Amino acid sequence: MRILIVDDEEVLRDVLDAVLRREGFDVLSATTGEEALNYLDSSEEIDLVILDVMLPGISGIDTLRAIRIANPTLPVIVITAFSSIDGAIEAMKQGAFHYIPKPFKNEEVILTVNKALEQRRLSHENERLKAELSEKFSYANIIGKSEAMRKIFDLIRQAAPSRSNILIQGESGTGKELVAKAIHHASPRARNAFVTVNSGSLPPELLESSLFGHMKGAFTGAIATKRGLFEVADGGSIFLDEIGNINLETQAKLLRVIQEKEFMRLGSVDTLKVDVRIIAATNADLQKLMADRTFREDLFYRLNVITITLPPLRRRREDIPLLVQHFLQKYSEENRRIVRDVTADAMRVMMDHPWPGNVRELENTIERAVVLCTGDRITPELLPDYLRYPTRTDSPAMVVPQEGISLKDAVSNYERTMILQSLELANGVQKRAAELLQVKPSTLNEMMKRLGIHAKSNAVAEDEVAAVES
Ligand SMILES: Nc1ncnc2c1ncn2[C@@H]1O[C@H](COP(=O)(O)OP(=O)(O)OP(=O)(O)O)[C@@H](O)[C@H]1O
Ligand SMILES: [Mg+2]
């Protein structure tokens, strides 16, 4: 960090020079405003200016004004004679970061300098994040710059224009619905309907009648003829959410729509033709459902022409700061607040959390923090306790119950919790988990064997193929 001192008094310059150098700063000095402005015009990188208001030649205030015009984000700390309150007020009006009256204590200067530089660093960081957000790393409101998310963006771009059906997989809260909408809106079908069907929440008959429609009198309660969602979505896309919950009978009918592009309303014998693209989503393991024979293999292969597998948030932690910034903006606007950023401590808590509820959980966390926030930064106190004290809630209670407890079992339980957590933090990489626990990898391995914790040997490989096109 380089600081420019502008003062005509040699003694003062020397004192400041010595104090700041001792703190590790690089120091330049100028005796007049003209000289200072020359420095700023040259290619010298300067991070902060300390400026005496009483200068020969062009005045300190004029120099300040010129600096603010040339470089509005460069912080300027002004030094004023104790008697010159007016000078101090004028300097603050002209955008000085702070003023220090003479005579001053060295600590006061150091403190103010560090504060100004910290503020500058934060505002640079914010600018950078905002620029990133608006340019490269969002696609149709989907935020992410991790390798895994870039692959997802590529996949969406490739898949959108095609006619193929798409299967989106991923844990709860990873953005499956967001991706489905993005695909529709980037497709030639964008001008037609995007219809969402929550296959999980309806009983089978209702699901069928809402998908395919029904004739008057087709079943008790069918008082009028009704169009199904496949008709509504004609020319557009239908989003079948929670596809894993559909029963076998309805699966057979779906298969027919996909294969023949035709179907019948319940209670009707007329076949209707439609042109609908199916985007299906699931957080269930369809392979397992197929093995259990609760999901039809032929339907799976029809849906699974293109698969998009959304990575859980804990496998792409580098996206967390970007998502935090995005949700800060969103909820600040919604709540008419100005919450600009997150303290380093709060960010650390969020970087360490495993986010089982993925982006939805992160979004809810930020919304809550913004609502509770009274200042302009999110501090750790605004985060829920279970984020801040993970071990307290996750670890077995450290109490001896009335009936007594086996110390050996309690210790094993504790060890198991710690090991599972560090494996989680380390994305399953045992060597890293051992580092986190400050034990040798071989020790961790022995402990895992003793405690019956199975290594996920594919933990890393699985990440690398987060998005696979079949
Ligand atoms: N990459 C992302 N960028 C910005 N917002 C996201 C991202 N991923 C998810 N979200 C937001 O998180 C919330 C949950 O996303 P969404 O509903 O798409 O998840 P889902 O995978 O369908 O979850 P579920 O399986 O529980 O239905 C939404 O508010 C969504 O806007
Ligand atoms: Mg969803």
Tell me the pLDDT tens digit for each residue of 46-77: 999 999 988 888 999 999 999 988 888 899 99
Indicate the helix (H) or strand (E) that contains 125: helix 106-134
Ligand 1 pocket residue status of 312, Cβ below 6 Å: no
Q: For residue 66, give the amino acid letter.
A: A
Query: 2 CA distance to ligand 2 centroid (A)?
Result: 50
pLDDT score for 87: 82
Query: 83 CA distance to ligand 2 centroid (A)?
Result: 66
The residues near 334 (Cβ < 8 Å, ≥ 6 apart) are none
Mean of the pLDDT values across residues 110-126? Answer: 87
Mean of the pLDDT values across residues 167-187? Answer: 94
- How far apart CA 296 and CA 314 sit, in angstroms, is 31
Ligand 1 pocket residue status of 174, Cβ below 6 Å: yes
pLDDT of 304 higher than 50? yes
- How far apart CA 113 and CA 121 sit, in angstroms, is 12
**What's 266's DSSP letter?**
B
Ligand nearest to the CA of 182: 1
pLDDT score for 409: 77
pLDDT score for 14: 94
Q: Which of 68, 242, 250 is nearest to 167 (CA)?
A: 242
Check: CB of residue 261 under 8 Å from CB of residue 274: yes
Handedness of CA 278, 279, 284, 285 (dihedral sign): positive
Predicted structure pTM score: 0.62
Check: CB of residue 79 under 8 Å from CB of residue 51: yes
The residues near 44 (Cβ < 8 Å, ≥ 6 apart) are 2, 28
Q: Is 400 left (phi over 0), alpha (psi -120 to 50) or beta?
A: beta
Q: Which residue has the least CA distance to atom 24 on ligand 1?
A: 172
Domains and CATH numbers, the chain: 2-123 (3.40.50.2300), 139-311 (3.40.50.300), 314-388 (1.10.8.60), 393-462 (1.10.10.60)
pLDDT score for 132: 60
Handedness of CA 8, 11, 14, 17 (dihedral sign): negative
Ligand 1 closest atom vs CA 138: 3
